[in-house]
Structure 1
Amino acid sequence: MRPLHFISGLPRSGSTLLSALLRQNPRFHAGMSSPLAGLLHELLGAMSNRNEFSVFISDEQRQRILRGVVEQYYGPEYPAEVIFDTSRGWCGRMAVLRSLFPASRVIACVREVPWIVDSIEQLVQRNAFSPSSIFNFQPGGTVYSRAEAVANGEGMLGSAYNALKQAFYGEHSERLMLVRYETLVSEPQKVMQAIYQFIGEPPFAHDFERISFDAEEFDRRAGTPGLHEIRPQVAPRARRSILPPDVFRRFEHDAFWQNPQLNPNDVTIV
């Protein structure tokens, strides 16, 4: 199997931008979220004891089946030498990835949490006539109900946040690297150098002035045009939040990765 790595972390935190940069390297494949994490999740359930025939399936067989799904998914259609698969779910599957792909690494994109909620709210308000898949295509609600929905344990942000903390403090944290959105947009060269070192690949000269990524059709079907839109140049952009101050304050101390005392496993953070 070719070198395989995983992009995960929090939503609205730069995974699309990171993929767009990585795919500039002709040896690499990187894209938006794939169906693989969901497929493995469903297969694990199907091979569990809820299936009366699971007595005939050993753990070794389960591993071969799951590994085979990933290897077949990235078949001849993906001729790149190094594969990056993206899903917010991978941080919750560190033990599975360790067993299936021992040489793999997980790159988790993170961002100050109030600005994640703000970014989601901006998308919703920008597409006022297009209910989003983020909220199961349900129209209506307020910024308060939407913030609550994305932040709870089953929400787009909350589930990813909990999985990130599990990976960060878990026994496989040496395989994890956190990439701060704030660093990615202000010091992209520093971030890319750190990633290449982390995955053990020779450096590549990336172009931070001409970046492209097209997911317009997917975003339209998701009822959220602009969900994977990136600007053609990497640069920080200052703006005011559209969140009410109390909503913003609710999340402003959630970036645990900012405190070195809360990093007992010395996870790499850039």
Structure 2
Amino acid sequence: MRPMHFISGLPRSGSTLLAALLRQNPRFYANMSGPLSGMVNAMLGEMSDRNEFSVFITDQQRRRVLQNLFESYYGPEYTAEVVFDTSRIWCSKLPVLCGLFPSVKMIACVRHVSWVIDSVERLVRNNALRPSSIFSYQTGGTVYTRAEGLANGDGMVGYAYNALKEAFYGEHAQHLMLLQYETLVRDPARAMAAVYDFIGEPAFKHDFDSVQFDADEFDARAGTPGLHAIGKKIVAQERTTVLPPDVFRRFENDAFWLNAQANPQSVRVV
């Protein structure tokens, strides 16, 4: 089976930009978040003891079924030599993925959580006439309820953050690399060099002035135009936050990956 790697981490932290850059390499396939992680979750559930026939299913069979799921999903129409699949769920599935693909590498995109919340809020305000799927198309919230909903354990940001910490401090952390959004947009050459070194692939000359990615139809159906939009040229844009000061301050100390003393597995942080 061809090399299989994964992009995960926090939302609004550069995963779409990373995928857009990786796919410039004709040997690679990468895209925005897709359905495969949900399919893996569904298959794990169906093969669990909640199924009365699970007594007939061995771990070897479970492993083979999941491996075949990946192989079938990325079938012959995908001609790339190396595949990157993207989902915020993958960090929580690192033990499963390591069992399926012993040489797997996972790149987790991270960003200061305050700016993640700010980025989502900015999207909501830019599309004020179109309720977003991020909040189940509800229309009665405020910036406070939206921030709370994003940050709780089942929220878009809170779940991804907890899954990231699980992988970062877990026994398979050697398969994990954290790529900071700030590095990706301020020094994309260094960021991509680190990615290639981490996955053990030969370097490739990327074009940071002509980056292309189109998910307009998907974003429009989600009620959030611009959700996966990226600029053609990679630039770091300085801006002030749209969040109230107390909301912004609530998350400003959550970047645990910046504390070198709290990295017991020596996870690479770029």
Question: TM-score normalized by structure 1?
Answer: 0.99
Who is 1:62 aligned against? 62
| CA distances 1:129-188 after superposition (whole Å, capped 9, x unpaired) | 111111111112000000000000000000000000000000000000000000000000
Who is 1:172 aligned against? 172
Secondary structure of the corresponding residue to residue 53 of structure 2: helix
Who is 2:51 aligned against? 51
Who is 2:216 aligned against? 216
Output the CA distance in 1 between the equivalents of 2:71 and 2:220.
Answer: 30
Who is 1:263 aligned against? 263
Who is 1:250 aligned against? 250
Who is 1:234 aligned against? 234
Output the CA distance in 1 between the equivalents of 2:259 and 2:57.
Answer: 44
Who is 2:20 aligned against? 20
Secondary structure of the corresponding residue to residue 166 of structure 1: helix
Secondary structure of the corresponding residue to residue 89 of structure 1: helix
Output the CA distance in 2 between the equivalents of 1:44 and 1:102.
Answer: 19
Output the CA distance in 2 between the equivalents of 1:132 and 1:229.
Answer: 15
Output the CA distance in 1 between the equivalents of 2:104 and 2:79.
Answer: 18
Output the CA distance in 2 between the equivalents of 1:139 and 1:69.
Answer: 38
Who is 1:193 aligned against? 193
| CA distances 1:14-73 after superposition (whole Å, capped 9, x unpaired) | 000000000000000000001111000011011111110000100100010011011100
Who is 2:76 aligned against? 76
Who is 2:105 aligned against? 105
| CA distances 1:223-257 after superposition (whole Å, capped 9, x unpaired) | 11000000001110001100000000000000000
Secondary structure of the corresponding residue to residue 107 of structure 2: strand
Give the letter aligned to residue 90 of structure 2: W
Deviation for aligned residue 1:101: 0.7
Output the CA distance in 2 between the equivalents of 1:118 and 1:58.
Answer: 46
Output the CA distance in 2 between the equivalents of 1:197 and 1:240.
Answer: 34
| CA distances 1:192-211 after superposition (whole Å, capped 9, x unpaired) | 00110100000000000000
Output the CA distance in 1 between the equivalents of 2:88 and 2:137.
Answer: 20
Output the CA distance in 2 between the equivalents of 1:34 and 1:69.
Answer: 14
| CA distances 1:58-111 after superposition (whole Å, capped 9, x unpaired) | 010001001101110000121101000000000000110000011110000000
Secondary structure of the corresponding residue to residue 38 of structure 2: helix
- Which 5+ residue runs of structure 1 have no aligned equivalent? none
Give the letter aligned to residue 145 of structure 2: S
Secondary structure of the corresponding residue to residue 52 of structure 1: coil
Who is 1:134 aligned against? 134
Secondary structure of the corresponding residue to residue 229 of structure 1: coil
Question: TM-score normalized by structure 2?
Answer: 0.99
Secondary structure of the corresponding residue to residue 178 of structure 1: strand
Who is 2:2 aligned against? 2
Output the CA distance in 2 between the equivalents of 1:21 and 1:11.
Answer: 17
Q: Percent identity?
A: 64
Output the CA distance in 2 between the equivalents of 1:4 and 1:198.
Answer: 13
Output the CA distance in 2 between the equivalents of 1:173 and 1:75.
Answer: 29
Whether 1:114 aligns to 2:114 is yes
Runs in 1 of length 4+ with deviation above 4 angstroms? none
